[in-house]
Amino acid sequence: MGKNKDHEAVASDGDGPGDEGYESDDGGYESVSSEGNGNGGSGGAAGELVEHGHEVAIHGGGTLEDVEGFDAAAAMTEGLADGETVPIDPELATLPECCPEEFEQPESVCGNDDRVRIRSTTRIPWRWNAQLIITSRNGRKSRCTGWFIGPHTVMTAGHCVYSHSNGGWAREIEVIPGMDASSRPFGSQVGRSFRSVTGWTNSKKPDYDYGAIILPNDSLGNKVGWFGFASLSDSSLKNLLVNNAGYPGDKPFGTQWYNAGRITKVTSRRLYYMLDTYGGQSGSPVWRYKDGKRHAVGIHAYGGCPNKATRINSAVFNNMVNWKQ
Amino acid sequence: MARVRGTITGIMESWPIQLAIRDVDGREFVISLEEDTGVVTRRGVVGVSELREGQRVEVDVEDGGGDGGSATDDVVVLD
């Protein structure tokens, strides 16, 4: 890692002549960093290696957060991989095919909009999420979502900390965890130190679109706690049920919204899914909830149905471990 | 001010959103939209939610001080 300015840093993360082929991370091992619950509590040792368990690939595994009003059944079936089928009601099966023009998508989302507002944002895991208010180098204001991975480190998308259209590195970013409309239950901090990788800052490659905000001290992170994160194998990720929450721009300002569904496609650097997202949710965590533990496996960054996250592969994982030091 | 015409290669979900566009010469641009930027299609003006990767678009931009700029008008879908 090298600093190009006194308050900004980039990690090389495989950038260079071979960056597109980059590493294979499906080697039978998974890396896990534990979550922390806040109030000064810390998680387990970062970088702990655990042997890859055997999961049932077709069903993916993972569980949904318990969110009132969320249609869990739809999330279980939406985005099933090609070739997989679900039983069809005989009456529905006889309906004629129809023109796509009659089924335009009026929403920002993939199919039906089944996002649910989170009102208990002071509870885990919602308080680990933060509204980000970005002041770009050229003075423009924009918004993203971030999430704590340590007492002073907030993960987000690369384009939230470094915008090629707005002069490069952000000037400053206000981090407001657990924000709920006008309520800022934990206060906020302003970060002026950022991290990303050269694959994003120099090469503009979407595969490398991730970054972090380094806060001036540990007070806010220790108050709210943080997500664990994990680098999982392809087989563990395919069809995995994952959760996502963030601060979309089409909803009342500062309100956090939840959605969930399956990962439908996995590449070495990206995760694809039909979870409903919108502008403003860039940087939000895509996490696995399993056995009572939450580990982020991706950093949401792109829309367009399917929507996409930067995958936390072993290289991303290692940078995250370094950034939370 | 310049007019960028090319194919959407990425829809970054900041708010407002940012579009990655590759023009016919292979040049990459990143365009920040405004909160009220619309998308003009054959069906009229729709929301940015209807943008998709692979669409050919045209948009007027002003220099943003980096490798791209800010949209000054609606995004026109050419397909």
For B42, which residue in chain A has the nearest alpha carbon?
Answer: A101
Write b or e for each residue in B46-57: b if 16 or more Cβ atoms lie within 10 A of its Cβ, otherwise e.
bebbbbebebeb
**What separation in angstroms does the CA of A50 have from each of A6, A7, A46, B16?**
36, 34, 12, 40
DSSP per residue over B9-78, as a string? EEEE-SBS-EEEEEETT--EEEEEPPTT--EEETTEEE-GGG--TT-EEEEEEEE-SSSEEEE-SPEEE-
Pairing of strands A270-273, A256-266: antiparallel
> How many other CB atoms are found less than 10 A from the CB of residue A325?
9
Residue-wise burial string across A211-232, b where 16 or more C-beta atoms lie within 10 A, e elsewhere: bbbbbeeeebbbbbbbbbbbbb
SS3 (DSSP) at A161? helix
| A13: contact with B, CB 8 A cutoff | no
Give me the interface pTM, i.e. the ipTM: 0.93
Per-residue pLDDT of chain A (325 residues; tens, 9 = 90+): 444 443 455 554 443 333 322 222 233 346 778 778 776 544 433 333 332 233 333 346 888 998 988 888 777 777 655 555 444 445 444 544 443 333 333 334 677 888 999 999 999 999 999 999 999 999 999 999 999 999 999 999 999 999 999 999 999 999 999 999 999 999 999 999 999 999 999 999 999 999 999 999 999 999 999 999 999 999 999 999 999 999 999 999 999 999 999 999 999 999 999 999 999 999 999 999 999 999 999 999 999 989 999 999 999 999 999 999 9
In chain B, the residue whose alpha carbon lies closest to the alpha carbon of A203 is: B28
Nearest to A204 among B17, B30, B52 (CB): B30
> Is residue B32 within 8 Å of A166, Cβ to Cβ?
yes
Query: For residue B48, which residues of chain A lie inside 8 Å, CB to CB?
Result: 108, 279
Q: Is A7 a catalytic residue?
A: no
Q: Quote the tokens at residue A78.
A: 């939406």
User: Hey, what amino acid is at B15?
Assistant: W
